[in-house]
């Protein structure tokens, strides 16, 4: 497969999944994050099944995996300044 051909699809997938991701300040963040994780997992499983027919769906979901890693890393790193 030509990875360079699908870099723009991965980037678009990253942006879309990043917009869908719940924000940490929301009241029901835990439930929304669980739903976000489950949706991404189901999309990854479904797109891996059709990878040979529609590789665009798989690479779009790979962008979602990168967005998920970004969301997790963003929520783990907290910078606090105390006076």
pLDDT digits (tens, 9 = 90+) for 18-50: 888 888 777 888 888 888 888 888 888 888 788
CA 60 – CA 64 distance, rounded (Å):
7
Q: pTM (2 decimals)?
A: 0.77
Domain residues of the chain, as ranges? 3-76
Q: Which residues of 42-61 are buried (b: 16+ CB within 10 A; e: fewer)?
A: ebbeebeeeeeeebebbbbb
């Amino acid at each position: 497969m030509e990875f360079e051909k699908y870099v723009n699809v991965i980037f678009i997938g990253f942006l879309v999944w990043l917009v869908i991701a719940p924000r940490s300040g929301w009241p029901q963040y835990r439930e929304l994050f669980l739903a976000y994780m489950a949706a991404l997992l189901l999309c990854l499983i479904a797109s891996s099944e059709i990878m040979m027919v529609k590789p665009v769906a798989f690479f779009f979901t790979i962008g979602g995996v990168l967005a998920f890693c970004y969301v997790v890393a963003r929520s783990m790193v907290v910078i606090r300044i105390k006076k």
